[in-house]
Amino acid sequence: VSDSKGGQRNLTMSFVRGDLPNQWFVEIGAADATNIVPAGANGMIKAGVLAFTPTGRLDVTTMAASANNAGGRPWLFDYQNDNTTIQIRASAAAPVPPAVNWAVGLGLAEQTISFDLDSTVGGLTQYDSPSVVGSTLTNGTAFGNLSEIEIADDGFVTAIFDNGVTRRIAQVALATFPSVDSLAQVSGNAYQVSENSGTFNLKTPGIGGAGSIAASQLEASTVDLSSEFTGLITTQRAYSASSKIITTADEMLEELIRIKR
């Protein structure tokens, strides 16, 4: 589980076969007992009994019908009130048994941990097969460091963290002007507002006449030098060939005149 500071704390669920059919004693505790007080709890947070149907599914109906099982032991969760949560209090307040606190040195805030044992795919079962995790749903995550920034075409700035979390943190706006051609040019290939350009209007990229944003790109010349040089050479050769035609035609005309003479 993730604590209030973004740290990771491991909880364990231990199952022991009960003395009644299809029932198990369950203990939930911290894998590191030093994270939990009072001293001597051995990391224990909550204990109780879980019941299963003869077909191996979690028997919520039986557990919701009474506070305890037939042996007088409390169910692990209060299904009468649909309460499948445990609460670990902050270390500032003294724990009142059976409640537990985070250890004082951790400085963690109080938090509630939910166990949706029957709502996930398949739910908790007691089939005669190896135990597997069918699905997980995480509400919270470990602390992450910023690893990357991405800017989309619509201007949204997304922060990507190394724990897999992504967050939209801002949106880049584009300025439009009544007279773009009247902007005053300044050094650095930039422009500024002038008296003739009018007041700028900030707009969302791609909306209301504003352009889109091309992230991680540098503006280059719109002229392809290789294509232009190729065209220049082709034009030069064509001009040379045309001049040769004119010269040849002139020589043929001159020869015709000499024949007439």
Q: Are residues 199 and 257 in the same domain?
A: no
| 120 pLDDT above the threshold of 90 | no
Please identify, among 114, 133, 154, the residue that sits at the C-terminal boundary of a domain. 114
Rounded CA-CA distance 152/41 in Å is 51
Give the mean pLDDT of 117-143.
77
- Do the domain assignments include residue 232? yes
| 93 pLDDT above the threshold of 70 | no
Q: Are residues 96 and 15 in the same domain?
A: yes
- Do the domain assignments include residue 138? no
54-76 pLDDT, tens digit per residue, is: 999 999 899 999 888 888 889 99
Residue-level pLDDT at 221 = 67
> What 3-state DSSP class applies to 24?
strand
Containing structural domain, residue 75: 11-114
- Do the domain assignments include residue 139? no
- Do the domain assignments include residue 135? no
Do the beta carbons of residue 69 and residue 20 sit within 8 Å?
A: yes
| 52 pLDDT above the threshold of 90 | yes
Calculate ∠ Cα 15-19-24, nearest 5°.
Answer: 25
Residue-level pLDDT at 25 = 94
Rounded CA-CA distance 253/245 in Å is 12
Q: Are residues 81 and 162 in the same domain?
A: no
| DSSP-assigned letters across all residues of 50-118 | EEB-TTSBB-HHHHHH-SB-TTSPBBSSBGGGTB-EEEEE-TTSPP-TT-EEE-GGG-PPPEEEE--TT
Give the mean pLDDT of 186-207.
86
> What 3-state DSSP class applies to 251?
helix
The pLDDT > 90 percentage for the chain reads: 12
Give the mean pLDDT of 214-233.
80
Q: Looking at the 3D structure of the chain, how many domains does it have?
A: 3
Q: Are residues 53 and 101 in the same domain?
A: yes
- Do the domain assignments include residue 186? yes
Residue-level pLDDT at 261 = 67
Q: Are residues 232 and 199 in the same domain?
A: no
Q: Are residues 242 and 160 in the same domain?
A: no
For residues 58 and 217, which has the higher predicted lDDT (pLDDT)? 58
- Do the domain assignments include residue 181? yes
Minimal CA–CA distance to 65: which of 53, 55, 51, 79? Answer: 79
Is the whole-model pTM more than 0.75?
Answer: no
Residue-level pLDDT at 98 = 65
Q: Are residues 168 and 236 in the same domain?
A: no
- Do the domain assignments include residue 184? yes
Q: Are residues 252 and 179 in the same domain?
A: no
Residue-level pLDDT at 70 = 85
Minimal CA–CA distance to 179: which of 166, 193, 164, 163? Answer: 193
Give the mean pLDDT of 21-34.
91
Residue-level pLDDT at 121 = 67
Q: Are residues 103 and 29 in the same domain?
A: yes
Q: Are residues 244 and 159 in the same domain?
A: no
Mean pLDDT of the chain: 84
Q: Are residues 97 and 23 in the same domain?
A: yes
- Do the domain assignments include residue 28? yes
Q: Are residues 34 and 79 in the same domain?
A: yes
| 169 pLDDT above the threshold of 70 | yes
Most confidently modeled of 18-27, 199-208, 246-255?
18-27
Q: How far is CA 36 from CA 1, 41, 44, 45, 107, in A?
A: 14, 7, 8, 8, 12
